């Protein structure tokens, strides 16, 4: 059996058009401040993609690029200014930050009402409690993907590999909400015998940031496989000198799974689509 390849781009487009429609009905133009510190090439590419999507959806972006040696104090000052600026509805500080800046301090400085990433402890806490909040874009995008393709989640065993604050932890909390009702196992680098868990998954979500970690023999026949990995692997034959590789060995997994997301073109586009939805939400609040 060969899996159905989930078209993340198509589902993302639908979500983006929906966000654009909602934005059009508002009396203000939803505007996101996008802050990039330093020149991490992957971050630069993500930020450019986000700004392009905002503009295509008729929304505004305040593009703030700072040098890698920006101090934590200077960044905190910028965030205080953006918090106070009524024309800015959302604030996104692209992660990771340079090592001399404490990410927690920065995230906690963002007004939770402008925290469209959903990374602030107030939003994370509300997510755990099942309250309305900004939901982190990648896990939210995964849930929307599952819903759009009609995957039954109730009572299913979802196995997440990776415990990041950006994906694994928030996704765990989303999947156990009553409207989704999955049973969740979260595996991480301390997990012993990883394949014994992944083979139990009806829905397997690989978010470890480890290229090719999940091989075909780690997947149950007919499982839904969601690959969150966006690993840049050097490849001299590629135009850019690298290739994007997922956490899943696609060629093996496609033979075992019922549905699978490709990399690129799977989860990635959904992250941006959900960000647009959160920016509209921030403008309404």
Note the residues at the interface with ligand GUN (CB under 6 A).
92-95, 117, 137-138, 166, 271
214, 217, 221, 224 alpha-carbon torsion, rounded to 10°? 0
Smallest distance, Å, CB 166 to ligand GUN? 5
Q: Which of 208, 218 has the CB closer to ligand GUN?
A: 208
Smallest distance from the beta carbon of 272 to ligand GUN, in angstroms? Answer: 9
Q: Give least dist CB 94 to ligand GUN, A.
A: 5
- To the query of whether residue 94 is one of the catalytic residues in this protein, the response is yes
Residues 6+ apart with CB under 8 A from 14: 148
**CA dist 170 to 22, 97, 165, Å?**
25, 20, 7
CA distances, 264 to each of 45, 49, 207, 267, 271 (Å)? 13, 13, 14, 8, 12
Distance of closest approach, residue 93 Cβ to ligand GUN, in angstroms: 6
Residues 6 or more apart whose Cβ sits within 8 Å of residue 141 = 12, 267, 270, 271, 273, 274
Question: By C-beta, is 137 or 253 nearer to ligand GUN?
Answer: 137
Residue nearest to ligand GUN (CB): 95
Residues 107-136: b if buried by 16+ CB within 10 A, e if exposed:
bbbbbbbbbbbbbbebbbebbeeeeebbbb
Give me the catalytic one of 50, 126, 156, 220: 50
From the list 114, 115, 117, 227, the catalytic residue is: 117
Shortest approach of ligand GUN to residue 60 CB, angstroms? Answer: 18
Q: Nearer Cβ to ligand GUN, position 95 or 122?
A: 95
Distance, in Å, from the CA atom of 1 to the CA atom of 21, rounded to the nearest integer, reads 39
Q: Kindly report the backbone phi and psi dihedral angles of residue 209, in degrees, each rounded to the nearest multiple of 5, phi listed first.
A: 70, 35
Strand duo 242-245 + 231-234: pairing: antiparallel
- Of 94, 169, 220, 245, which residue is the catalytic one? 94
Q: Do 151 and 205 touch, CB atoms closer than 8 A?
A: no
| Nearer of residues 138 and 153 to ligand GUN, judged by Cβ | 138
Closer residue to ligand GUN (CB): 201 or 207: 207
Q: Which residues are catalytic?
A: 50, 94, 117
């Amino acid at each position: 059996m060969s899996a159905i390849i989930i078209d993340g781009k198509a589902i993302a487009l639908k979500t983006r058009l929906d966000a654009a429609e909602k934005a059009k009905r508002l009396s203000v133009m939803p505007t996101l401040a996008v802050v990039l510190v330093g020149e991490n090439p992957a971050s630069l590419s993500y930020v450019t993609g986000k700004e392009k999507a905002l503009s295509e959806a008729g929304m505004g972006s305040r593009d703030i690029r700072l040098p890698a040696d920006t101090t934590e104090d200077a960044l905190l000052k910028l965030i205080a200014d953006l918090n106070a600026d009524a024309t800015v509805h959302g604030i996104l500080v692209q992660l990771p930050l340079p090592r001399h800046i404490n990410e927690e301090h920065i995230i906690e400085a963002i007004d939770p009402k402008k925290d469209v990433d959903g990374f602030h402890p107030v939003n994370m806490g509300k997510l755990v409690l099942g309250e309305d909040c900004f939901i982190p874009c990648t896990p939210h995008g995964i849930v929307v993907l599952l819903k759009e393709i009609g995957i039954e989640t109730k009572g299913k065993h979802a196995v997440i590999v990776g415990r990041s604050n950006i994906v694994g932890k928030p996704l765990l909390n989303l999947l156990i909400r009553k409207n989704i009702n999955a049973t969740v196992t979260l595996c991480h680098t301390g997990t012993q015998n990883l394949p014994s868990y992944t083979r139990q998954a009806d829905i397997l979500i690989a978010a470890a940031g480890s290229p090719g970690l999940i091989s075909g023999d780690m997947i149950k026949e007919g499982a839904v496989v969601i690959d969150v990995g966006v690993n840049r692997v050097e490849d001299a034959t590629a135009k850019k000198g690298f290739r994007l590789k997922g956490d899943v060995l696609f060629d093996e997994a496609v033979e075992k799974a019922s549905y699978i997301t490709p990399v690129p073109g799977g989860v990635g586009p959904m992250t941006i689509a959900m960000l647009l939805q959160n920016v509209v939400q921030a403008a309404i609040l």
